[in-house]
Structures are given as structure tokens and as C-alpha cells.
A = this chain, B = another copy of it.
Amino acid sequence: MKRGVTLKDIARKLNMSVSTVSKALSNDPTISLPTRARVKKLADEWNYIPNEAARHFKLSRTSTIGLIIPDLMDQYYALAINGAEKVAGQHQYNVIIAQSHEDPGREDEIVDLMLRNRVDGLLVAISKKREDMSVFKKTAYTGIPVIFFARPPKEDGFDAVISDNEHGAFKATEFLIKKGHKQIGYIMGPESMSVSYTRLDGYRRALDKYKLPYNGALVKSVDFTQEATFAAMRRFMKMATPPTAFFAFKNYIALDAIEYLKRKHPALLQQIDFAGFGNLPLLQYLDHKPVASIEESSYEMGEEAARLLLRTIHEEIPEEGRPVQHIQISCKLLVHK
């Protein structure tokens, strides 16, 4: 049988009604066991495959959630997807994935596509450059819940699951202080990202707690290019008393900073410590690496986000009556070697 066997085909062959076949296949107890068996047997022989489009259409429910991330190449998101998929699967939900490639325009299209496909809810790690949140307001308006994760929107009023960046930064800085460092630089992320500042807060709180003075000159923002990091390091190392340790916004940045030292100040390489966000599996192969990483539990974040979304989907409370929901996932300090 080519072109999709349907219930009707089976019904005709067995001289029963379509509804009987439908019920038999879904194990409806009002259908006699022998009938169920006959139907299943033929369905199997004929390779019957239910048409989900028709089911969804009929049921006006897809049991599918949409997941939008900036970039699949970033393992951080890949891991979050795994977490979300696990939770979704446990509730018989499917997940469809799409990437914005950091393009807000593409992101808009994806949201539209997913709404047209009638996903039951949306999980979104927003693209870096998004300013206008109207698409998501429109989404909320249609009654499709949206949970943001990892990358919260700048604007308030949206449900979100993010890692506890402030405390992670605190822990990293504290670790360096406890190792005896008194002059600690913060290689900050882009100023356009709110997380850069959240981590700055944690850095400052650690300094405060251990009575170390805060010095603005010890904080330099970089984008994620190697050149920017090199430039920042050049300026750091020109200071009268350069930092003896650095807290890096991301470990990728720390690696570039270490690379700079390798090239320009090899003698200092052993004495200067780094700690940064993001645990990278390949770190173990490096001879010179950060002494500690702050690991964001992105798997757990994916799980939490999915859980929150499913809860919201099944919520009876109307959108308006519900308070904004925020969940923070704690970060782990990982000491290397």
C-alpha cells in the first residue's frame, strides 16, 4: 500500500466502521478483544501510520513545545536542549528546535512558524541583539505561554529561568581571594549584555566581603574576539601593580588572556590565576588553564524551563492573573586538577 493507509482503508477491508477501527487501535475497552486483535493485525500488516496532522487538527492540541536558541554549535544550549527534551518526553510532549543564529528577524520568523504549527508553548533563549519584544507580547496574547531561559530579555515582565550569575561570579572571585590574591581583575563581557553587569555585582560583593577595595581600573569589558581580550590584557599588564588573578566573564576569554601571557609575559604564566564561567571538556588537555570554572548547569536549566512551561500550559489561571515567574539555577564552582 503506497500513499498512506488510512483508518478508512482498514475499515473497508474488515467490513467495519471507521470509528470502530479508531477505537480498536486506541485500545478502547468498549471494543471486543477479538475485534481489537483483528484490527491491529491488519494495521500492522498494512503498515498503518496514524496521521498526526489530522489528529492535531482534530484535537486542536499538538503536544509539542517549540524551543528557540541562538546557536546549536554552542554546547551550552545543546545541553539545555537535552534537559528540556527529557522533561518534555516524560510528559509525552515533543520538542521542535530552531536556531535564530542571533538574528532577531529570523527569530521573529521562527516564532511565527511555531505559532502556525500550533505548538503548545515556547522555550526561548533570546538572540543577543533583540530589542523589540513585541513578537513575544503578541505570543502571550494568543495564549501560548513563553518561558525564556539562559538569556533573559532586558525588559521585565517575562517568565524566565536563568542561572544565578551573581552568585557564580561571587564564588569565582571568592575562590581567587581565598587563594591569596588581593589584586583581581574582571575581564567583563560586552556592555550590551545585562549578564556582564550581574556578574560584576557578584565580583564586587566578594571584594566587599573580604574587605578588598573595588577599583574600576580592574574591570575591562571585551567582546568575544581574541583581539579585544589581548588589548584588555595589554592595558592590565601596563598597570603599576597589575592584577595577580583574573575573573573572566567566560573561560574562552580566559584562554585568550592566557594565550596573551604566553606570548608576552611567559615568566608570569605560573603566577597568575584565572577563574571564569563555563566548564569546557577540553580544558583537561591544556597545560595552562584556569584554576577554576563556574559551571552553569544548562542541562538542569533546560529541565527547569521545560517544567515551568508545562506547568504554565496546564495552568488554569488566566495569563493576566499570574505573577511573573523567575527561577534561578545555581552554579557550581569547579576546581581544576
Contact = CB atoms under 8 A, between A and B. Distances in A.
B53 A117 contact: yes
A62 interface: yes
Contacts of A57: 51, 53-54, 57
A47 B4 CA distance: 34
A115 interface: yes
B49 A115 contact: yes
Contact of A62 (B53, B72, B73, B286): B53
A113 B94 contact: yes
Contact of A53 (B4, B56, B141, B282): B56
Nearest to A143: B2
A52 B117 contact: yes
Interface stretch (A35-43, A77-85, A229-237): A77-85
A209 interface: no
Given A73-B79, A78-B78, A286-B286, A141 B259 contact: no
Given A2-B143, A96-B96, A142-B4, A116 B50 contact: yes
Contacts of A113: 94
A51 B82 contact: no
Contacts of A285: 255, 258-259, 286
Contacts of A81: 72
A139 to B, nearest CB: 10
A73 B73 CA distance: 8
**Highest count of chain B CB atoms <10 Å: which of A73, A82, A141, A286:** A73
A280 interface: yes
A50 B49 CA distance: 25
A211 interface: no
Given A51-B57, A62-B53, A99 B116 contact: no
A19 interface: no
A3 B60 CA distance: 10
A285 B280 CA distance: 12
5 contacts: A52-B117, A53-B62, A72-B82, A285-B286, A287-B287
